[in-house]
Amino acid sequence: MRGSIFGVAVAASSLVAATSASASVITTLPGGTSLPIPATNQQGTSATQTIAAGITADPATTFTFGWTGTYGFSSNGDWGSDPMIGLDQPAGSFSILFANPISAFLGELNWTGNYAGNAMVAAFSSDGTLLESLTLESGGSNLVAPGFYGFSRSSSEISRLTFSNEFIGVRNIAIQSVASVPEPSTWALMLLGFGAVGFSMRRGRRTTARLAAMA
């Protein structure tokens, strides 16, 4: 029995390692679902805005929401036409919140670089744990070129995306979710249970065979 359970425990340990969540910065999202920003053309609002059912945008300060006019990002150029969300101040942040966590996010990002704060985007879980972050600009210098950036996880655990500083803006959003799978600890318990059941069945068959031989 100890040998059987040990073998199952080793398998469970390997599975835990294999299924640990991983994160990565992405610039494309094949198979992603477009998440249109409503063209409401609001400026300087501090009210939470609805993007879609269960998906909202919330400013910590004030922001422009659903803007389709020209929005300038200094030397990084101007945006226009496609609805966007943009920070109305050089410092501060706004967040996109997901009632049902997602596994991946991609958006077109732009920012200025003339102020003290670093332009950043970060992903958080429902309990506020930082999952991944990307600094776009620091000290007035771009670390990456404006364009499409986001995050991908091995499970649907992204509940909040936060965009910070430098009049940062986002548009042309896409998201993705993966089917939920048991936690690694749950898999381990299941495998241990299966091992114990298998051992009991084998022992039962051996006992039955011995009784039949004695009859």
Domains of the chain, each with CATH number or no CATH: 21-176 (2.60.120)
d(CA 94, CA 96): 7
Mean pLDDT over 45-64 rounds to: 97
Please give the share of the chain, as a percent, with pLDDT higher than 90: 68
Strand partners, 108: 148, 171
Q: Output the CA torsion sign for 159, 99, 90, 105.
A: positive
Question: Mind listing the pLDDT tens digit for each residue in 135-170?
Answer: 999 988 999 999 999 999 999 999 999 999 999 999
In three-state form (DSSP H/G/I as H, E/B as E, the rest C), the secondary structure along 138-204 is ECCEECCCCEEEEEEECCCCEEEEEEECCCCEEEEEEEECCCCCCCHHHHHHHHHHHHHHHHHHHHH
Model pTM greater than 0.85? no
CA distances from 74 to 70, 137, 141, 170 (A): 12, 13, 12, 16
Structure tokens at 139: 């000290």
Question: Mind listing the pLDDT tens digit for each residue in 72-123?
Answer: 999 999 999 999 999 999 999 999 999 999 999 999 999 998 887 899 999 9
